[in-house]
C-alpha cells in the first residue's frame, strides 16, 4: 500500500471535505487538514444530523433543506461494500482501501497501526535529549510546570504526554485515563487521571482545545508511558484553540533546564523531610521513588509536584 507523501498532498492542494466525499454536500474544501473534531463546519452538520435523528425518533419527518442532511458515515454505509473508502484514503493519506468496520475507527486495528507507524514515530520520536541528573528532556518539546509535555505537530495540532520526571517519581502506572475524542480540554484544569493500585492523581492540561485522538495503549497499560514517555507513551492529541497564547505559558530551551534543576532540588528536600537524609541515593533519581520509599505519602507527593 502506498502512503501518499506530504509533498504530494501539498502539491495537489485539493482536499475535499469528508461530507462532500460522502455526497452530503455538493462542494466543500477542507480547511482544517481533516481535523474534523476541531472543525466548525463538521460540528454544525453533526448538530443538524442529531436534530433530524431526534425528529425521526419522535415520528416526525425532517423538512426543508436541512431535512435532507444525514451523517456522512450513514451515507457511505448505503454504498456497496467495495465502494466504502477507508477514512485515511478520504483524507488523502493512503491509496484506496476498503473500510471493513462500518467506519468504527476506534475498533479498527489498521487505524491504530497507521497512527502508531506513520504519526507517532515520524513526528514525535525525539532525536536528541539532554540529561539533567538522570532525567531525559527532549529538544523541541514544550513543558508545563505540572509535568506534562506538548509537541507541536502540524498547524494548531499538538500531542501531549507526561514527562520523565513525574513518571520516575510516581513509578509504573496501571492505566491512564484521558478525555474522549471530541471532549474539550481547559488549560490548568484536571483533564487526565493517573492510576497506580488504589492511588489516583489528576494532571493539569497544558493547553486548551479539543481532543482529536487518544492513545488506547496507555489507557490499559499505563507503564508504557514510563518506558517511553516522549514517543509511544503519549497520552492524547488535541487541536489547540489558541496555541500561540498557550505556548507562551510553557517552558522551552534554557527555561526547561533551570526548571528541572529546581524540581530536582525540591524533590530531594521533599524526600529528606518525608523519609530522612539517606533516602536520596547518591543524588540520582531512580525509576520508582514512591515504590522504593514506603514512608512517602502519595497525596502529598502529588500535591507537591502535580499541583493538584
Of 38-47, 67-76, 178-187, 203-212, least confident by mean pLDDT is 38-47
* 141 and 92 in a common domain: no
Q: Would residue 161 count as lying in a domain?
A: yes
Question: Can you tell me the distance from the alpha carbon of 233 to that of 237, in angstroms, rounded to the nearest whole number?
Answer: 12
CATH number at residue 304: 2.40.50.100
Q: Which residue has the cell 547518591?
A: 282
* 255 and 187 in a common domain: yes
Q: Would residue 195 count as lying in a domain?
A: yes
* 16 and 130 in a common domain: no
Output the pTM of the full model. Answer: 0.65
Are the C-beta atoms of 67 and 74 separated by less than 8 Å?
no
* 259 and 140 in a common domain: yes
- Judge whether residue 278 has pLDDT over 60: no
| H helical segments located in the chain | 6-12, 18-21, 40-57, 72-77, 87-90, 109-115, 164-170, 216-220, 223-227, 243-247, 254-275, 289-292, 298-306
Picking from 99, 134, 166, the residue at the C-terminal end of a domain is 99
- 206: cell is 497544558
| Strand ranges (E), 112-221 | 129-132, 135-138, 142-143, 148-154, 157-162, 175-177, 184-185, 190-196, 199-204, 209-214
pLDDT digits (tens, 9 = 90+) for 237-263: 999 989 999 999 999 988 999 999 999
If one compares 10 and 283, the residue with the highest pLDDT of the two is 283
Are the C-beta atoms of 246 and 240 separated by less than 8 Å?
yes
* 280 and 155 in a common domain: yes
Kindly write down the DSSP assignment for every residue of 50-64, as one continuous string: HHHHHHHHTTPPP-T
pLDDT digits (tens, 9 = 90+) for 35-70: 787 688 998 999 999 999 999 999 999 988 899 899
Question: Can you tell me the distance from the alpha carbon of 206 to that of 149, in angstroms, rounded to the nearest whole number?
Answer: 8
Number of domain units in the chain? 2
Are the C-beta atoms of 229 and 164 separated by less than 8 Å?
yes
* 132 and 17 in a common domain: no
Q: Would residue 189 count as lying in a domain?
A: yes
* 280 and 149 in a common domain: yes
pLDDT-derived band at 119, boundaries 50, 70, 90: low
* 130 and 89 in a common domain: no
Q: Would residue 216 count as lying in a domain?
A: yes
* 140 and 90 in a common domain: no
Q: Would residue 186 count as lying in a domain?
A: yes
Domain that holds residue 177: 124-308
Q: Would residue 192 count as lying in a domain?
A: yes
Burial class (CB in 10 A: 0-12, 13-18, 19+), 281: exposed
Q: Which residue has the cell 523541541?
A: 140
Are the C-beta atoms of 143 and 152 separated by less than 8 Å?
no
Q: Would residue 112 count as lying in a domain?
A: no
Picking from 83, 99, 115, the residue at the C-terminal end of a domain is 99
* 201 and 81 in a common domain: no
Q: Would residue 114 count as lying in a domain?
A: no
* 164 and 53 in a common domain: no
Q: CA angle, corner 256, sides to 254 and 260, nearest 5?
A: 125
Amino acid at each position: 500500500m502506498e502512503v501518499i507523501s506530504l509533498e504530494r498532498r501539498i502539491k495537489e492542494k485539493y482536499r475535499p471535505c469528508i461530507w462532500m466525499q460522502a455526497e452530503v454536500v455538493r462542494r466543500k474544501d477542507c480547511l482544517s487538514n481533516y481535523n474534523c473534531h476541531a472543525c466548525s463546519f463538521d460540528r454544525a452538520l453533526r448538530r443538524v444530523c442529531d436534530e433530524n435523528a431526534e425528529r425521526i425518533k419522535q415520528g416526525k419527518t425532517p423538512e426543508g433543506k436541512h431535512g435532507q442532511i444525514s451523517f456522512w458515515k450513514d451515507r457511505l454505509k448505503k454504498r456497496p461494500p467495495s465502494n466504502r473508502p477507508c477514512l485515511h484514503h478520504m483524507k488523502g493519506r493512503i491509496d484506496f482501501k476498503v473500510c471493513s468496520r462500518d467506519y468504527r475507527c476506534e475498533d479498527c486495528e489498521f487505524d491504530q497501526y497507521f497512527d502508531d507507524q506513520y504519526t507517532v514515530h515520524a513526528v514525535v520520536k525525539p532525536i536528541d535529549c539532554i540529561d539533567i541528573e538522570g532525567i531525559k528532556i527532549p529538544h523541541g518539546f514544550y513543558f508545563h510546570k505540572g509535568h506534562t509535555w506538548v509537541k507541536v505537530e502540524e498547524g494548531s495540532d499538538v500531542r501531549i504526554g507526561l514527562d520523565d520526571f513525574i513518571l520516575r517519581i510516581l513509578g509504573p502506572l496501571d492505566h491512564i485515563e484521558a478525555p474522549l475524542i471530541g471532549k474539550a480540554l481547559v488549560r490548568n484544569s484536571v483533564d487526565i487521571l493517573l492510576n497506580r493500585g488504589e492511588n489516583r492523581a489528576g494532571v493539569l492540561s497544558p493547553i486548551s482545545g479539543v481532543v482529536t485522538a487518544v492513545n488506547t495503549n496507555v489507557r490499559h497499560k499505563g507503564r508504557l508511558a514510563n518506558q517511553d514517555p516522549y514517543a509511544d507513551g503519549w497520552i492524547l492529541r488535541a487541536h489547540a484553540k489558541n496555541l500561540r497564547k498557550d505556548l507562551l505559558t510553557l517552558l522551552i530551551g534554557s527555561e526547561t533546564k533551570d526548571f528541572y534543576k529546581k524540581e530536582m532540588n525540591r524533590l530531594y528536600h521533599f524526600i529528606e523531610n518525608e523519609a530522612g537524609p539517606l533516602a536520596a541515593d547518591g543524588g540520582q533519581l531512580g525509576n520508582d521513588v514512591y515504590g522504593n520509599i514506603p514512608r512517602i505519602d502519595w497525596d502529598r507527593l502529588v500535591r507537591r509536584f502535580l499541583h493538584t
